[in-house]
Chain A
Amino acid sequence: MSADAERFVRMYRQMVAIRFFEERVNDLYTRALMPGLAHLYIGEEAIAVGICEALRTDDYITSTHRGHGHCLAKGASPHLMFAELLGKEAGYCKGKGGSMHIADPATGNLGANAIVGGGAGIATGAAFAAKFLEQGRVAVCFFGEGALGQGVLYESMNLAQLWTLPVIYACENNLYNEYTHCSETTAGDMLARPRAFGIDSEAVDGQDVRAVNTAAVRLVERARRGEGPGFLLLDTYRYRGHHVGDIAREYYRSKQEEQEWVTGRDPIALHRAWLESKGLMGRDAFERIDVEVAAEMDAAVEFAMKAPYPDPSRVDEDVYA
């Protein structure tokens, strides 16, 4: 299999992994086994996978409250993620962060952030450090279209372009700022915003993992060459609610709209059909991936369920370095 073909298969598998992970998160929530809430990435998998496929392990990302997909795509272990989601000592953050704060220096994950737009300054600053220290690293700032309402995003983009920083702003437009359609919150043209700063910007079908990857590779290579920041506007859709508890959604969007995306624009189904049409994978291979990934995720859940909670005496640790 060629390197390209391997990459296409790897991206398929990674999307399946994110979906299976999230389905288990939902299951843990509905069975009241998971404390708090979680924001599922189902439907948006092609973005995290297509972009992270273009990155090195030591490149940086910042993630969001809807961050499980970014973390997994960047290389996080499902075992340690589930342990964190359940508040266990073995989790990525020793149970102190939870679903919205998975962070992992080993994979360049600067952390998921529960402030909308909260990663903008951090990603831009990591890019500043990468440039200053001449490390050749780039940083990707994932955020939803809701963050287009936050001033610090524009301040960060201004600095990034002024100082030619190696940062890619990845705007996942899933159409809804929580429970409000983006047309009710966003004046003007989304892509005109980064373009006003002179940032190399591109709109991409966020359900097409290969298109996402192609656009990401171009902007990442450009940034790595020292040519400055990029911006991707990625059209996508959040299949589930704002969070796992957001079940009755008809008051803000129709079931018909949801169904159109699920049946017509599912990133995994689209990529699968393409892989089949190219003869890169057949039914057996898809089934094998499903079985393997399901087993891996089930093992991760089991590990997390059995893992011990942190001792309450550790509550005061890690406040200061």
Chain B
Amino acid sequence: MPDMSFGDAIRMALAEEMRRDPRVVLLGEDVAEAGTTFKVLKGLVDEFGCTRVIDTPISEPGFTGLAVGAAMAGMRPVVDIMFGDFLALIMDQVVNQAAKIHYMSGGKWKVPMVVRATMGASRRSAAQHSQSLHAWPSHIPGLKVAMPSTPYDAKGLLKAAIRDDNPVIIFEDKISYTKVKGPVPEDDYVVPLGVADIKRQGRDITLVATSSMVQVALGAAAMLEEIGIDAEIVDPRTTWPLDEKTLIESARKTSRAMVIDEGYFRYGVTGEIASVIAEGAFYDLDGPVRRLGARHVPIPFSPVLEDVTVPTERDVFDLARTMCNK
């Protein structure tokens, strides 16, 4: 099985689904010839043409709203939101329309659409091109939210999202597009939404990590191993549905849990997951569930400032060491 980049796995997933289902179309800014600003979709327009890989105006609410209606009327649109920060622009279409139409109509209409959005800091892109806003849609009933961390998961989760009859928001870490590589089968597989994956088995502490933070946790685990701490890394893969069972079982096994996520620390994903673990594993824990997330500041531009805003391997290592009294 060949190693493939995270970005290439996403392109592979889209191409496979577009071959399988002629109702799948891609909509977004510079998705066709440019293949997006990150080149993730490069080449798709050559195979599927500009009637299915559709360059839109810079008009996120417009083309996202259009995707909602198209999905209701029989299409399977996949919307590309270049920077996850632009989620703020499409919130009405996603939150008040897509998320609620199935319920408000008593189950009569469905909105099978996918929003692909990016996330992640450390590209020196400052406050409006660097946020990780996946907590927002995770808060809303009617939406599903996926956060792949590996090329394998990226392909499988995206294919599952496209086949799902609900609106699914999938967050892709920008740095991972080229930096993260891994094995990706050529066959037609999906990763079901709502099933966590144990990225590393361990005995001493559970590190729950999402998206970009899985790589950070893996790096920290290697450092921890050198001082005799055996960390288990659990990747929820979707923030909703959330595989609470796997998270709780891991914490009960290791008796210590830390949650690491690139979103803002306050009122975010780490708080939710920590409470799930605290409620489900309280009597098996040696201490409180601890959390690491983005500092409560707009992401700054200067490298020396940006580098202290999101959790690092060292941050995870230091906190885990404290928790394990080593």
Residues of A within 8 A of B (CB): 60, 62, 91-97, 101, 103-105, 110-111, 113, 115, 118, 120-130, 132-133, 139, 151-152, 155-156, 158-159, 162, 317-321
| Stretch from B35-43, B62-70, B220-228 at the A interface | B62-70
Report, as a range, how many residues of chain B touch the other chain.
35 or more
* Docked pose: A30 CA to B63 CA in angstroms: 42
Q: Contacts A121-B61, A162-B57 hold; do A129 and B73 have CB atoms under 8 A apart?
A: yes
Q: Which of A97, A128, A158, A317 contacts B69 (CB 8 A)?
A: A128
23 CB contacts below 8 A, A to B, read A91-B106, A93-B104, A96-B104, A103-B105, A104-B108, A111-B105, A115-B92, A115-B97, A121-B65, A122-B65, A124-B65, A125-B70, A125-B72, A126-B73, A129-B73, A132-B70, A133-B23, A151-B61, A152-B62, A158-B57, A159-B59, A318-B103, A319-B142
How many A-B contacts are there with CB distance less than 8 Å?
Answer: 148
A97 lies within 8 A of B104 (CB): yes
Q: Which of B25, B69, B101, B166 contacts A123 (CB 8 A)?
A: B69
Q: What B residues does A130 contact at CB under 8 A?
A: 73
Q: Which B residues from 19 to 61 make CB contacts under 8 A with A? A: 23, 25, 51, 56-57, 59, 61
Q: Which of B56, B72, B108 contacts A122 (CB 8 A)?
A: B72
Q: What B residues does A93 contact at CB under 8 A?
A: 104-106, 108
Is B71 close to A, CB under 8 A?
yes
A321 lies within 8 A of B102 (CB): yes
Is B107 close to A, CB under 8 A?
yes
Q: What A residues does B65 contact at CB under 8 A?
A: 120-122, 124-125, 152, 155-156
Q: Which of B25, B64, B104 contacts A101 (CB 8 A)?
A: B104
B101 lies within 8 A of A111 (CB): yes
Binary CB contact string for chain B from 189 to 228 against chain A (1 if under 8 A, 0 otherwise)? 0000000000000000000000000000000000000000
- The closest CB in chain A to the CB of B92 belongs to A115
Q: What B residues does A321 contact at CB under 8 A?
A: 102, 107, 110, 112, 165-166
Is B287 close to A, CB under 8 A?
no
B109 lies within 8 A of A317 (CB): no
A94 lies within 8 A of B70 (CB): no
Q: What B residues does A126 contact at CB under 8 A?
A: 69-70, 72-73
Q: How far is the CB of B110 from chain A (nearest CB, A)?
A: 5
Q: Contacts A111-B101, A158-B59, A320-B166 hold; do A125 and B66 have CB atoms under 8 A apart?
A: yes
Which are the 4 A-B pairs with shortest beta-carbon distances?
A: A121-B65, A125-B69, A155-B62, A129-B73
Binary CB contact string for chain B from 90 to 133 against chain A (1 if under 8 A, 0 otherwise)? 00110011000111111111101000000000000000000000
Q: What B residues does A317 contact at CB under 8 A?
A: 107
A128 lies within 8 A of B104 (CB): no
Q: What A residues does B69 contact at CB under 8 A?
A: 62, 110, 121-129, 139
Is B180 close to A, CB under 8 A?
no
Q: Contacts A126-B73, A151-B61, A159-B56 hold; do A318 and B68 have CB atoms under 8 A apart?
A: no
A319 lies within 8 A of B68 (CB): no
The residue in B23, B106, B108 that gathers the most chain A C-beta atoms within 10 A of its C-beta is B106
A156 lies within 8 A of B62 (CB): yes
* Docked pose: A319 CA to B142 CA in angstroms: 5
The residue in B62, B102, B108 that gathers the most chain A C-beta atoms within 10 A of its C-beta is B62
Q: Which of B61, B107, B144 contacts A318 (CB 8 A)?
A: B107
Q: Contacts A60-B73, A129-B69 hold; do A111 and B104 have CB atoms under 8 A apart?
A: yes
* Docked pose: A24 CA to B66 CA in angstroms: 36
Known A103-B106, A320-B166; 14 more pairs at CB < 8 Å: A93-B108, A103-B108, A115-B97, A121-B64, A122-B68, A125-B65, A125-B66, A125-B68, A152-B92, A152-B93, A155-B62, A158-B57, A159-B63, A318-B106
A125 lies within 8 A of B71 (CB): yes
Is B74 close to A, CB under 8 A?
yes
* Docked pose: A151 CA to B89 CA in angstroms: 11
Q: What B residues does A60 contact at CB under 8 A?
A: 73
Q: What B residues does A162 contact at CB under 8 A?
A: 57
Q: How far is the CB of B30 from chain A (nearest CB, A)?
A: 15
Q: Contacts A94-B106, A320-B142 hold; do A156 and B97 have CB atoms under 8 A apart?
A: no
* Docked pose: A318 CA to B105 CA in angstroms: 9
Q: Which of A96, A105, A159 contacts B103 (CB 8 A)?
A: A96
Q: How far is the CB of B287 from chain A (nearest CB, A)?
A: 35
* Docked pose: A319 CA to B112 CA in angstroms: 13
Is B15 close to A, CB under 8 A?
no
Q: How far is the CB of B109 from chain A (nearest CB, A)?
A: 6
Is B298 close to A, CB under 8 A?
no
A121 lies within 8 A of B68 (CB): yes
The residue in A92, A95, A111, A162 that gathers the most chain B C-beta atoms within 10 A of its C-beta is A111
A118 lies within 8 A of B73 (CB): no
Is B75 close to A, CB under 8 A?
yes
B141 lies within 8 A of A319 (CB): yes
* Docked pose: A111 CA to B107 CA in angstroms: 12
Q: How far is the CB of B302 from chain A (nearest CB, A)?
A: 34
Q: Which of B56, B70, B97, B109 contacts A103 (CB 8 A)?
A: B109
- The closest CB in chain B to the CB of A156 belongs to B62
Q: How far is the CB of A150 from chain B (nearest CB, A)?
A: 9
A118 lies within 8 A of B92 (CB): yes
Q: How far is the CB of A302 from chain B (nearest CB, A)?
A: 22
A118 lies within 8 A of B70 (CB): no
* Docked pose: A124 CA to B63 CA in angstroms: 9
A96 lies within 8 A of B62 (CB): no
Q: Contacts A91-B106, A118-B97 hold; do A156 and B57 have CB atoms under 8 A apart?
A: no
Q: What B residues does A159 contact at CB under 8 A?
A: 56-57, 59, 62-63, 66
Q: Which of B51, B59, B105 contacts A155 (CB 8 A)?
A: B59
Q: What A residues does B57 contact at CB under 8 A?
A: 155, 158-159, 162
